[in-house]
Structure 1
Amino acid sequence: MIKVKLFDQEHEKDLELEMNRFLERMEEKKLMDIKYNVAAVREDEDEQIYCFSAMIIYRA
């Protein structure tokens, strides 16, 4: 069976930490792919919000 795990953080280091924790528990041969995305939204003149997200595709 193929599954996915989704991750979403406001800071890239938080995303990295969360993903590494998940991957530590997974057998390497089960990992199929990792998709990564960054989105930026400007709320006003002074503030820009980032969203760092990723999806791990793996065999269960």
Structure 2
Amino acid sequence: MKVKVFDESHEKDLEASVNQFLSEMSGEVIDIKYQVAIGISGEDQIFCFSAFIIYQ
């Protein structure tokens, strides 16, 4: 069993990274976990979109 972690600041970048990985991998996906975190810095909002893929 293996894992791959993705972390991007924009959801479209995460989508592209995950889709590229899935198209190139030769194993079987067991599960995908997804999470969004938001931080505040002054008047800025900082987003963190992440995915955790478990595969064989």
Question: Aligning the two structures, in what range does the TM-score lie when normalised by the shorter sequence?
Answer: over 0.9
How many correspondences in the alignment? 56
Superposed CA RMSD in Å reads 1.1
- TM-score of the two chains, using structure 2 as the length reference: 0.93
Runs of 4+ in 1 over 2 A off after TM superposition: none
Specify every segment of 5 or more residues in structure 2 that has no aligned partner in the other structure, as ranges: none
Return 18-27 or 7-16, whichever deviates more.
18-27
Specify every segment of 5 or more residues in structure 1 that has no aligned partner in the other structure, as ranges: none
Identity rate, percent:
54
Q: What is the aligned partner in structure 2 of residue 54 from structure 1?
A: 51
